[in-house]
Amino acid sequence: MENKEMRNKHKILMEYKYEPKSLKHGYTDKMLYVNVGDNRIEEKDIPEEVKEKFIGGKGYGMRYLWDAVNPDTKWDSEENEIVMSAGPIAGITQYPGTGKTLVCSISPMTDIPIDSNVGGYVGPYLKFSGWDGLEIQGKAKEDVIIVIDGIEGKITIETAPEESVDGHLLGEQLTEMYAKDEHEKRQISVITAGTAAEHTRMGILNFSFYDIRRKVARLKQAGRGGLGTVLRNKKVKGVVVKSKPVKGDLNNPFDQSIINKTGIKLHKEIANHDHEQNNMHKIGTAALIDTMIEFDLLPVHNFQYGTHKDAVKMGNKVFINKYLTQGMVDGCWYGCSLACAKAVDDFELKTGPYKGHKVVIDGPEYENAAGLGANCGIFNPETILELNFYCDTYGIDTISYGTSTAFAMECFERGIINKEITGGLELKFGNEEASLELIHQMSKGEGFGKVVGQGIHRMKKIFAEEHGADPDFLFDIGTEQKGLEYAEYVCKESLAQQGGFGFTNKGPQHDEAWLIVMDMVNNQIPTFEDKAEALHYYPMFRTWFGLLGLCKLPWNDIVPEGNAKTDEPAKIPEHVQNYLDLYYGITGKTITPEDMVRQSEKVYNFQRVFNIRMGKGLRANDKSPYRMMGPVTKEEYESRQERYDSQLKEKVGVDPEGKSTEEKIKILREYRYDQYEQLTDAVYKRRGWSNNGVPTKEKLQDLGMDLPEVLEVIEKHL
Amino acid sequence: MRVKRLVKDESKCIGCGKCEEACSQAYFKENNPEKSRVRVTAMENWNKLTICTQCGACMEVCPTQALKRDKNGVVKLNKNDCVGCFMCVGFCPEDAMMQHDDEREPFKCVACGICTEACPTGALSIIEF
């Protein structure tokens, strides 16, 4: 059906006119509230106190989500919201990585708040249309779209019965439908989910940006925690934001000059050094693949191993030379000269409903290559790309998909599940066809795909209760925590990274702390106190990006000349100063690195208490599955016997001679559990939490976060 | 393709700054070397001239294709499409894409030749390749 015809089938359920408020110093101080259940559209003034304590981005997401839900709210409750906000720096065009939106909701995976950051133009376009954030609440009776027209000053809720659900089609359809001509397509950004988001818990949100060279709406993903599942549960098919043309001063910053200088300085740094550092402009985040292989950190066969003889088939050079189109301007927001949003053009699909179509594939990101590929024993780059494409368009989180499928494959190989249970799927490591079939089943809501789509947390329960599996063994090899699947890094040999995953608010995602190299490779944080300090500083520092609307990559995926000679090279002091300068440039307020951490701590502790309010967030919820801490099985131990034997001797003080592998596994396991417990004590202490992981009253008072509703939650636990 | 561009002979430059004056007057109606598209920098024993070679590196990094080559091979900026990201400034191999905080968009030499007429020594000239 033609787009025009599709649009004619829309019924306007609600129209709301408004005067788009201009930004001042990065803010409009307005929140847009849309209830698709009773078709209500309202604007809210954001109080000064909220702005001071929560800054923007994830801070706003958590604050407004808290107010919307109650301790009994589930992901599919009417009152659950999807809240998104970009933060005050987002939307500047001069500095790389300044277009991020943070999206929050009660997660179908974890049942606690999730936050996921995403590129694409939606967040900045919301700001330019007058809104610091958007709340979507309620459930529509039929499929709808929300259209925010920042040029006309008009918001509509419209039925959308005919549009596709899959992301790559819907992105195109809505972009074309709401742009008056080709040139105006760049002023449209669209949110979609996909068909599998309806049938699984791991649905994503795609945020589009129109690629004027490829003439296609590219998709970036708010991937973690099932946000797309929530969107489709609300029967929202998509959100369209139409902005006035982008200019370099739309944030109306306090001091444009310092922003210009800081941005140009980083552009030059990238122009001069990216090719000799990470090569992000050529390969994007997949640049990590070779490093992970080198250090035995690439997850292989459900995190059992850290490398594989076939891993080279999906190495950096393969993607650069054969698949990723070079020389394009691949920023997911204007001004990102790091240009990591790589794409494969004219890829002919071999399976599924779009078989034979030539498509643009965004990625693969490192996580996709590692999760969809190596962790499932798949090393064929074309299959990785095909899975990547279908994950995006069907609206599935590549990380949860990869890690969940790897878990199911291991269960199959160990006879915990069989072909009868999988509906005939030979779910062995390396079975490319089986993985592709699984993903198509998720889109249709059929077969074993529907089971895997529930994620590991629920698969463990099903396999134990319905198929008689040993729950303890499933706990060991099921790489999820708080209900969320682990991101794709083997962290057995890095205690700090075990904590980096284990003590996260939303579940084991690497955006809080990525300490493997610092800890394992460079041994820079040897003591518990050192690790605890790192597990305080980095999660707080990186939380700050999510408050301000920033991408983490331009902080440390490019480093200035002379960085190695600074006092703390891992912190990249010059880049920290850049962020302080940007903050000053936007808001006019001078802050220190300590202030950044403090701003983050406010929101981080609020989120921790939010977790507790929703039933998690205590010490018991920060435990790790042993697969992420050490060798669970004989095969794992024996594959790295020399390493583990010498650790027994040197670290544990036990002579491995004459002991069986099982005995050695047991001793190592006790040692490593003990180490993790000691680390937990040290980190909680450093963060100002009780021994049970609860932020103390004193800590909250010190942060100015002793809000009555927050104290009410913690009092029950102290 | 034909390329019309500015060429320099630094051995002839006396550092008088007439080129900068003429350029900034022509495009910004003020005498301000920081707003000139050609720059003179005094070195120890000579004068360095920063000029655009029309190489097009700026076009390649422009996210909006606001920089395009015209029929004479001159790279020109369409300010309507420019988002002011200054990636072109950072990536110019000649440091000849200019930026000034009074301006929202960057600016560059369009090989108009005004500076060559102002130059008393013939250090600057326009050539078609």
> In chain B, what residues touch A270 (CB-CB under 8 Å)?
90
- Rounded Cα–Cα distance for residues A579 and A575 (Å): 6
Contacts with A, B 65-94, CB within 8 Å:
65, 80, 83-87, 89-91
Euclidean distance between the first and final Cα of chain A, in Å? 60
Asked if B109 and B38 count as a contact pair (C-beta separation under 8 A), the reply is yes
Is the CB of B61 inside 8 Å of chain A's CB atoms? Answer: yes
- Residue A186's closest chain B neighbor by CA? B64
CA triple A713-A714-A717, angle to 5 deg = 115
- pLDDT value of residue A718: 85
Q: Where are the domains of chain B?
A: 4-121
Contact between A189 and A120 (Cβ < 8 Å): yes
Cα–Cα distance measured from residue A695 to residue A607, given in angstroms and rounded to the nearest whole number: 10
All residues of chain A having their beta carbon less than 8 Å from the beta carbon of residue B87 are 267, 335, 337
- Which residues of chain A are modeled with pLDDT < 50? none
How many helical (H) and strand (E) elements, i.e. helices and strands, does chain B have? 4, 6
Using an 8 Å CB-CB cutoff, list chain B residues near A128.
none
CATH number of B4-121, picked from 2.60.120.330, 3.40.50.10490, 3.30.70.20, 2.40.10.10: 3.30.70.20
B57/A contact by beta carbon, under 8 A: no
Q: Residue A502 and residue A505: Cα distance in Å, rounded?
A: 9
At B2 the pLDDT is 84
- Considering CB atoms only, which of A245, A248, A263 is closest to B104? A248
DSSP 8-state assignment for residue A326: P
Q: Which domains does chain A have, with CATH numbers?
A: 3-242 (3.60.9.10), 278-485 (1.10.569.10), 511-558+591-715 (1.10.599.10)
Q: In this complex, is the C-beta atom of B56 within 8 Å of any C-beta atom belonging to chain A?
A: no
Distance CA B10, CA B4 (A): 19
8 Å CB contact of A334 and B63: yes
Asked if the Cβ–Cβ distance from A270 to B80 is below 8 Å, we say no
Q: How far is CA A297 from the centre of its chain?
A: 20
Mutate one of B65, B81, B86 to test the A interface: name it (highest A CB count within 10 A).
B86
Interface residue B105 vs chain A (CB under 8 A): yes
ipTM: 0.98
B85·A268 Cβ contact <8 A: no
Asked if the model's pLDDT at residue B86 lies above 90, the reply is yes
CB-CB: which of A248, A257, A266 is closest to B84? A248
What's the confidence (pLDDT) of residue A538? 97
Q: Give the nearest chain B residue to A339 (CA atoms).
A: B61
d(CA A274, CA A293): 21
Residues in A 183-212 with any Cβ partner in B closer than 8 A:
186, 212
Instruction: Give per-residue pLDDT as tens, A338-386.
Output: 999 999 999 999 999 999 999 999 988 999 999 999 999 999 999 999 9
CA-closest candidate to residue A63, choices A71, A55, A72? A55
In angstroms, what CA-CA distances link B67 with A512, A645, B92? 39, 62, 13
Question: A580 by DSSP, 3-state: which?
Answer: helix
3-state SS, residue A166: coil
Residues B60, A329: C-beta atoms closer than 8 Å: yes
The tokens describing A231, both together, are 């969107």
B64 contacts chain A (CB < 8 A) = yes
Inter-residue contact A507 to A202 (CB < 8 Å)? no
Would you put residue A394 in left (φ > 0), alpha (ψ -120 to 50) or beta? Answer: alpha
Say whether residue A273 is in contact with chain B using an 8 A CB cutoff: no
H-helix segments, A423-564: 432-444, 447-452, 456-467, 471-477, 495-502, 516, 528-548, 553-556
Q: Do B85 and A263 touch (CB under 8 A)?
A: yes
Is some CB atom of chain B closer than 8 A to the CB atom of A331?
Answer: yes
Q: How many CB pairs under 8 A join A and B?
A: 66
CB atoms within 10 A of CB B59: 17
> Residue A212 has what DSSP assignment?
T
Q: Rounded to 5 degrees, what are φ and ψ at A636?
A: -65, -45
Angle at A536 between CA A99 and CA A703, to 5 degrees: 85
Contact indicator for A596, A582 with CB cutoff of 8 Å: no
Q: Can you tell me which residue has the tokens 């609300």?
A: A234
User: Residue A588's pLDDT is what?
Assistant: 98
* CA dist., res. B126 & res. A8, Å (int): 57
List Cβ neighbours of A298 (8 Å cut-off, separation of 6 or more).
A289, A292, A306, A307, A308, A311, A370, A374, A488, A490
Residues from chain A contacting residue B83 (CB–CB below 8 Å): 93, 246-248, 334-335
Taking contacts as CB-CB distances below 8 angstroms, the residues of chain B near A331 are 63
CB contact under 8 A, A248 and B99: no
Q: Is the CB of B62 inside 8 Å of chain A's CB atoms?
A: yes
Indicate the residue of B61, B64, B99 with minimum beta-carbon distance to A260: B99
Q: What is the pLDDT of residue A133?
A: 98
CB nearest to A264's CB, from B65, B99, B105: B99
In sequence order, the 6+-apart residues with CB closer than 8 A to the CB of A608 are: A505, A617, A689, A693, A694, A695
